[in-house]
Amino acid sequence: MYRLIVALLLVTASATATWAQEWLARPSLWQNERGAVLKVLRIDPATGIFSGVFLSGPTGACPGVPYDLSGRIFRPQRRVVFTTSRTWTSDCGGTVVWHGRAIDPNTAAVTWRARMVGPNGGVVTSRGTDVFRRI
């Protein structure tokens, strides 16, 4: 029985390590169900810290607008946290914080909270959920 438990733990650890290597191995391209694209351009496999560009979806108020992207994947929990922001211009500016879990090496389910300046100059906050798939 002891050998079986040890074998199961080794298989689980190996699968987690393999998953983390796949997720963090190289730059990648992701898309959500509304067509927004997440481009992970730089990633540090040792820390899980990544950066890149987020392009808003084609149907929103600011279609195809680029936002700075920075985040981190936490192993072995498969948690992911990232921020998209556009602060260098007043049009389509704002910050969105995303957090969730990687379901597998090609899918991440996240929730988000956006803070933007509205037309009257006040801060507008919105929330939602997304599923990103590697493309």
* Residue 1: pLDDT band with limits 50, 70, 90: very low
Q: How far apart are CA 18 and CA 77, in angstroms?
A: 13
Q: Which of 85, 22, 75, 19 is nearest to 52 (CA)?
A: 85
How many whole angstroms separate alpha carbon 36 and alpha carbon 30? Answer: 8
Q: How much is the pTM?
A: 0.79
Domain count, the chain: 1
Q: For residue 61, what is the domain's CATH number?
A: 2.40.128.30
Domain that holds residue 23: 2-134
pLDDT tens digit sequence for 67-110: 999 999 998 889 999 999 998 777 788 999 999 999 999 999 99
CA 67, CA 47: separation in Å to the nearest integer?
A: 23
